[in-house]
Chains A and B, each alone.
Chain A
Amino acid sequence: MQGLIDRLTALLNDGTVARVLGWKKGDMPYNPEPAIFNSAEELKDFVYDGFCGANLSKMMIEATKLEGKTAVCLKPCDTYSFNQLIREHRVNRDNAYIIGVGCRGKLDIEKIKKDAKGITEISGTELDGQEKVTIKTIYGDKEINYTDALLGRCHVCKGKEHMIADETWGESKDTADQERFEEVQKLEAMTAEERFEFFKNELSKCIRCNACRNVCPACSCRKCVFDNTKFDAQQKANVDSFEEKMFHIIRAFHVAGRCTDCGECSRVCPEGIPLHLFNRKFIKDIDKYYGEFQAGKDPEAQSPLTDFTFEDIEPGERG
């Protein structure tokens, strides 16, 4: 990590960039926060380890409006989101200096906490760390395999290549050990009633905190329709029938064809709702009906849902 800090310091010192967007050490061993560093002095709190799951691409919408370049640390999967934001003209590429940081998968603290409470220290989470994560707790020490504590999205890793970067730092590892559409196929195998029951059960936990929307790089509308006070829907009201039928489904439709499957929605949900399943189902369907497409792979590529060809499938027609 020191190598990365040194490089960022050099970029700041030689004036290549005006600031750095990265992660700042937390007050616990597992809670670093996204942060902007304006000087080499501030970089002493910079951290990059297994708990830096947050995708910083969306924060670049505001950061690239500032004067001077912002250096941003993007993991391979984050670069898809950044490319998609370029495609949508939401970030200013000229004001971004992208450091493609290496990644061996990011950790899900909820998985670690299942077996470890009263955590005081965690080691082995660095990029060049061990196979095992050691957790010291006031109730005794624990150990977990790094790969067993990965975020769900890392099991369907899109690969170790950065789709866009001005330079890279650190080695990456493809952590995929699951078929990308396996979870979707399980849903598809259910009857309509079973599927409805599944989502009803999951979505009934929704507290309408909007964390999924606010973290989503594809949800970059300046004003969300659900924040419109003149919109006569129940908005902040947490009513089962509403969010089951409306909020999450509308959101999934709105990001269809643009969602890169970065998995942030599921990572941040305080109720552990597997929100990515909606989006991944759309991705699978788009692949099937319009040909394989990965949002954010190429910032120039035409999205299948904003393009028209005479061969397009008709609404309601099933392939």
Chain B
Amino acid sequence: MYKISLKDLDTLFREIAGNNELILPVKKAGQINFGAYEEGVETDLINKSVKSPKDAFFPQFETLYNVKKTITPADELADGEEAANTKIRTKLSIEMEGLKDKDFVIFGMRACDVKGVEVLDNVFLSDPVDSFYKARRDHGIIVALACKEPEESCFCTVFGVDPADPTKAKADVATWIVGEDLYWKAVTEKGEKLTESVKSALTDADEAAVESEKANITSIMDKLPNTKLSLEGWGAGKTDEKFNSELWGKIYNPCLGCGTCTFVCPTCQCYDIKDYTTKDGIQRYRCWDSCMYSDFTLMAGGQNRTSQLQRFRQRFMHKLVYYPDRYDGMFSCVGCGRCVDKCPQSLNIVKVIKAFDKEEKGGAV
């Protein structure tokens, strides 16, 4: 266990950024989001970021490849080739976008965010492996931070996340803010290596302070209103029962069909692949999609979800039933509470779970 004074954090960041790209919670135009470290940047390690740090591994937008069209001038054609035959004159070349090939450090992820990456891993690292995602996972070094001031929207403990102890999540380094210091503990080999490279900025420390901080965080979580949420009735094998419930029709109505919940979520993994016409070809890119949108999974045969009720139901069924069905009962919500904070109409997964709970216990919703 090591530590560094909070007022010297910039030294640590500079040290890390000297060797690797560093991503951390940055305050820009009044809002906290994960972004690249720059000299003089304002960081916020206490409050929740608007978007999750998911972008570091699965960016909202990325180019997959570019297709370029070249037309050979008529006078450069080989003998016997006809200038009027555009098929012969036109050549297409495909240029793949490079994969991430340098290590980077992501600092300040919370235990829930790290669990979110685990959810993404199941999807992107299983066959067929997503090479773009895998390259980023291979090169990413996660320095997780225990929560200092959990908020009323937090309910990660419901999903088995321990916000007090990031070593339990798949982090490479776990850190805690205690008093005026940041405590630092390497968890994995990657974490050990990173620790070695920044050791000059760190001093040896005793674990005792961290232990009492952990107890403190656990007691805060106990006092929060949503950490007692019951997931009874959800999980693998509940498709028919939940899908056919009439309750969806009663609770979806205010949903605007915007994508806020899906875009701030650390586990939403759906994407769309589209082409952008450039002046001499196309740029094929992928971008996050949202099950809330009308063109989500649109195919030649049309739409499989034509109403907002169906789209609304899809999101919660995916998190609480379909995903557990597919991945050994694991839920694909980590209780970070970002959707709870940001839904423009104040609808959210907690309200959905509570509404079903209330109905199943015989109360009107």
Contacts and interface: CB of A to CB of B under 8 A. Distances in A.
B75 to A, nearest CB: 33
A211 interface: yes
B351 interface: yes
Interface stretch (B89-97, B146-154, B173-181, B310-318): B146-154
Given A33-B346, A207-B264, A270-B342, A214 B257 contact: yes
Given A232-B276, A238-B287, A214 B256 contact: yes
Interface in B308-365: 342, 344-347, 350-351, 354, 364
A227 B298 CA distance: 12
Contacts of B350: 27
A34 B225 contact: no
Query: What does DSSP make chain B's interface, helix, strand, loop or mixed?
Result: loop
Interface residues of A, number: 49
Interface stretch (B25-33, B136-144, B230-238): B25-33
Contact of A238 (B50, B60, B225, B253): B60
Contact of A227 (B151, B254, B294): B294
B346 A31 contact: yes
A268 B344 contact: yes
4 closest Cβ pairs, A-B complex: A268-B344, A31-B346, A211-B258, A214-B256
A177 B253 CA distance: 36
Given A27-B350, A238-B287, A272 B224 contact: no
A238 B286 CA distance: 10
A118 interface: yes
Nearest to B219: A138
Contacts of A201: 28-29
A208 B263 contact: yes
B364 A41 contact: yes
Interface of A: 26-28, 31-36, 41-42, 54, 59, 113, 117-120, 137-139, 201-202, 204-205, 207-211, 213-215, 223, 227, 229, 232, 234-239, 267-268, 270-273
B133 interface: no
A270 B224 contact: no
A270 B260 contact: yes
Given A235-B274, A237-B274, A28 B225 contact: yes
A240 to B, nearest CB: 10
A211 B350 CA distance: 20
A208 B259 contact: yes
Contact of A215 (B256, B274, B354): B256
Nearest to A41: B364
Given A119-B152, A138-B220, A209-B260, A32 B346 contact: yes
Contacts of A31: 346
B276 A234 contact: yes
Nearest to A268: B344
